[in-house]
Amino acid sequence: MSTFLELGLKDSITKALIDLGYETPTVIQEKAIPQIISSTTDLKAFAQTGTGKTAAFSLPILEQIDENSKNTQAIILSPTRELAIQIGNNIKDFAKYLPKVKVATVYGGSNIQDQIRDLKRGAQIVVGTPGRTVDLINRRALKLGNVQWLVLDEADEMLNMGFKDELDKVLEATPETKQTLLFSATFPREVEAIARNYMTTPVEITSGQKNQGSDDVAHEYYMVSERTRYPALKRIVDVNTDIYAIVFCRTRRETQEVANNLIRDGYVADALHGDLSQAQRDSVMGKFRKKTVQILVATDVAARGLDVTNLTHVINHKLPDQIENYTHRSGRTGRAGSKGISVILVSNKEKGRIRAIERIIKKKFIEGKVPSGKEICQNQLMHLIDKVQNTEVNESQIAEFLPSIYEKLEGLNREELIQKFVSLEFNTFLSYYENANDLNNLSSRDSARRTTDENMTRFFINIGRKDSLNPGKLIGLINEQNIGDKVDIGSIDILDTFSFFEIDKNYQEKTLEAFLNNEPDFNGRSVNIEITKKERSGGGGGRRRGKKSFGNRDGGGFGRRRSKETSSRRSEGFSDKKRRSSDRPDRGTQDKRTGGFGRRRRER
């Protein structure tokens, strides 16, 4: 293995790398740095996120840049504002001992005048999102006539996001003599077309096999049905006591729903998707980086610029539409030498896609079993005991309280004390998983029913048998409220003057809202519904304590009894057939003109 010095970098650069803690070059750096320094031939690099590709293209550019000229000599395009900022900051770190080198980062959703001022002062290296870069070229604030290097970073993602026209414009504004460096994790047809049309006999390098996943990532799949998908996700989170993960979803709506459900169930989770304003996105990402948020539920595009090196898991709640994107997702973990696990939750229908992914990543998936309640309790309990063992006692601080505590607990022996303390911390969890079913047994009727319980909200409705209500009529009444497509209705209990019914928890708020807004009546009686108290407090147990403890299960109606008149039905005939923008894969909300995320698009 060579050193950075041996790759041809000068002292002023290697000194900065030492400060950053970069000891040896990564594979892509070892291949790209000498190539770019020694040759002006175009370069096509297959590189995942997390392989060190930013340094792979920036260091040889810094090595060769003319510090004494103020002309823009390198333009680096990146798909998102976050990634652009990250690249800009990395280059500034690398150029710490090259004081005359100036880097300008330009992106939409931020004051363009400030960026024009930065450019006027002279920046040898410009990092930008495609839209804003074109805007600045059109305003003649950015002049690319002297560019020697054009870097297209995450080219596949830029094309995915619809930046083809912008790329064409930037390419047109640069001289023919430049060296084009194209970095991409995948090479679909569109990226190959860019390489063909704009590059001359490029040299190809890879950071391993093309598209291959990192060796530090283990790939696991768990079989689920639509009903067990969310409970399985929770169990995977619960069994991994120190989880720090991104849960990937396909659409903004799915993202928000999964995040809402996790938050409702007491997890320290948040959502990141294109419907959020830039300020909201920055705040969520900040919290996730600081680990105040433990589970980030995100769309592919929104999570792009997030550089977090120590994720324990990437969880694919649903697989991406384009299978190549799996490598982007799984590449978020196992970064910078740490190990990670990439999990996919797949239904029978999606199972065939596992083979397709295996062919791309050149690795086998391991089938995981959704953990049982017992396994989870055992793991959590041992985690708690470990924490107790490792807790440092600050005797001087607690000394004054101890005598009265000892006095109060005088009658308890060691065993009783341990039992009480474990129960105090653990009752909620134990009762939640007390009768937990086997989620791996997808065909079992029992499994489906019990799972339904975990996912259902029980409503009270003020009409009953005396109003001639029966289960069929109640389902009809629910259907008429247009709550959503194919909403699951669980058990129905018809009593004399009132009744109960269960609805998929995801639709709890919509159900309440629909009945409130529609003000339906049934046989002349105005109908109203309420979430039953039992649902809100079922399962007993205290609220969670520290932010890193497992979810609070006291909001989910656990340990519920099954009703006599149980019927699990799927309502039909809902008319909400419109496909909303948030149901489509999240392409971000870039303002194509500015290249930024400034606008907030609201769901109708």
Q: Given the rule CB under 6 A, which residues bind ligand AMP?
A: 22, 25-26, 29, 49-55, 307, 309, 335-336
Least distance in Å: CB of 335 to ligand AMP?
Answer: 5
Least distance in Å: CB of 207 to ligand AMP?
Answer: 9
Residues 141, 557: Cα–Cα separation, whole Å: 60
Give the residue carrying structure tokens 């489906």. 448
Compute the 3-state secondary structure of the chain and give helix, strand, coil in percent, each to the nearest 5. 40, 15, 45
Q: What are phi and psi of 503, to 5 degrees?
A: -130, 145
Residues 404, 421: Cα–Cα separation, whole Å: 18
Least distance in Å: CB of 388 to ligand AMP?
Answer: 34
Least distance in Å: CB of 329 to ligand AMP?
Answer: 15
Residues 537, 531: Cα–Cα separation, whole Å: 11
Inter-CA distances, 25 with 3, 47, 90, 217, Å: 7, 14, 15, 20
Give the orientation angle of helix 229-239 with respect to helix 373-390, to 10 degrees: 30
Nearer to ligand AMP, 51 or 299 (CB): 51
Q: Identify the burial level of 231 via C-beta atoms within 10 angstroms of its C-beta, where 0-12 means exposed, 13-18 middle and 19 or more buried.
A: buried
Nearer to ligand AMP, 336 or 495 (CB): 336
Nearer to ligand AMP, 51 or 511 (CB): 51
Question: SS3 for 569?
Answer: strand
Nearest C-alpha neighbor of 489 from the set 574, 571, 556, 561 = 571
**H helices of 127-208, where?**
130-138, 155-160, 164-173, 189-198
Tell me which DSSP letter residue 349 carries: G
Least distance in Å: CB of 141 to ligand AMP?
Answer: 28
Residues 303, 83: Cα–Cα separation, whole Å: 10
Query: Which pair of structure tokens corresponds to residue 424?
Result: 């105090």
- Assess contact for 179 and 149: CB atoms under 8 A: yes
**DSSP β-ladder status, 521-522 and 525-526:** antiparallel
Nearer to ligand AMP, 56 or 236 (CB): 56
Question: SS3 for 337?
Answer: coil
Give me the long-range contacts of 138-141 (CB less than 8 A, separation at least 24): 139/112, 141/115, 141/116
Nearer to ligand AMP, 56 or 346 (CB): 56
Nearer to ligand AMP, 37 or 263 (CB): 37
**DSSP β-ladder status, 313-316 and 74-77:** unpaired
Residues 116, 104: Cα–Cα separation, whole Å: 9
Nearer to ligand AMP, 57 or 198 (CB): 57
Least distance in Å: CB of 423 to ligand AMP?
Answer: 43
Least distance in Å: CB of 516 to ligand AMP?
Answer: 48
Least distance in Å: CB of 62 to ligand AMP?
Answer: 14
Nearer to ligand AMP, 309 or 378 (CB): 309
Give the residue carrying structure tokens 């990192």. 214
Least distance in Å: CB of 104 to ligand AMP?
Answer: 19
- List the helix and strand counts (H, then E) for the chain: 22, 21
Nearer to ligand AMP, 309 or 470 (CB): 309
Nearer to ligand AMP, 63 or 485 (CB): 63
Nearer to ligand AMP, 309 or 435 (CB): 309
Nearer to ligand AMP, 21 or 411 (CB): 21
Residues 191, 167: Cα–Cα separation, whole Å: 11
Least distance in Å: CB of 92 to ligand AMP?
Answer: 13
Least distance in Å: CB of 505 to ligand AMP?
Answer: 38
Least distance in Å: CB of 107 to ligand AMP?
Answer: 17
Residues 549, 270: Cα–Cα separation, whole Å: 16
